[in-house]
Chain A
């Protein structure tokens, strides 16, 4: 059983540590920015208070010409606690907050080779959206 609550500044070191362990890169300033007003930064913790996972998002209006939608920027779950519904509970909590603010769509961007996270979002009912991401190597 996990509980979900808003992230506080005191939670940032353990959030940053979990993310660094999973991605191999430390980005404390990025996580600090997620505490800015208007952002939704939630965590789940076990009954013993251990970090189980976190999710971050924001409502953005007219991003890339699209009407207001909730964007999921990041989600990480402790690998030892995966497949127990933690990610789904976090996603649903974030979506509930988006809905409460009046938006009717949620979207995200995912590395197309990251099949684990792609499968997770598919399992939440997400499908390919109206935009295609394009990029170019500038080096």
Chain B
């Protein structure tokens, strides 16, 4: 399964912040930790903040903190902020043909299994020590 860069960054950021809800990390801290662009990560954190998953502070003590419920929030809740919902993709050329429709049924099956997996894994489960 291929996730967009913003989705992966969103998952990284939420999981890192949810690891310790007391900690505050700046966008630059997180970008350095994951070796990604600070500019790109700042935009992702804005989306996460608008969704009520993290809260950002301003000034010298600025940074982001996780404010969600680790037991309730699943990986799918984060993925859904950045990826099109299953079945809501723009139609592709050829989908109206028999072969195109048959291929769509297979791709939908894969999407449904992926969604079930992502929706069944809470942040709490992800962060539990192995």
Q: Interface on A for B, CB 8 Å cutoff?
A: 112-113, 115, 118-119, 121-123, 128
B15 within 8 A of A: no
Residue of A nearest to B112 (CB): A112
* A121 contacts across to B, CB distance below 8 A: 120
Pairs across A and B, CB under 8 Å, 20 listed: A112-B112, A112-B113, A113-B116, A115-B119, A115-B120, A118-B116, A118-B119, A118-B120, A119-B119, A119-B125, A121-B120, A122-B120, A122-B121, A122-B122, A122-B125, A123-B122, A123-B124, A123-B125, A123-B128, A128-B117
B27 within 8 A of A: no
* A113 contacts across to B, CB distance below 8 A: 116
* B113 contacts across to A, CB distance below 8 A: 112
Within 8 A of A (CB), among B29-43: none
* A119 contacts across to B, CB distance below 8 A: 74, 119-122, 125
Given contact pairs A112-B113, A118-B119, A119-B120, a sample of 14 additional A-B residue pairs in the complex whose CB atoms are under 8 Å apart? A112-B112, A113-B116, A115-B116, A115-B119, A118-B116, A118-B120, A119-B119, A119-B122, A119-B125, A121-B120, A122-B120, A122-B122, A123-B122, A128-B117
Residue of A nearest to B76 (CB): A115
Please report the C-alpha to C-alpha distance between residue A115 and residue B115 in the assembled complex, in whole angstroms. Answer: 10
* B121 contacts across to A, CB distance below 8 A: 119, 122
Residue of A nearest to B116 (CB): A112
Please report the C-alpha to C-alpha distance between residue A52 and residue B50 in the assembled complex, in whole angstroms. Answer: 39
Please report the C-alpha to C-alpha distance between residue A123 and residue B112 in the assembled complex, in whole angstroms. Answer: 20
* B119 contacts across to A, CB distance below 8 A: 115, 118-119
Q: Shortest beta-carbon distance, A83 to chain B, in Å? A: 8
Please report the C-alpha to C-alpha distance between residue A106 and residue B125 in the assembled complex, in whole angstroms. Answer: 18
Encoded as 1 (CB less than 8 Å from any A CB) or 0, chain B from 17 to 56 comes to 0000000000000000000000000000000000000000
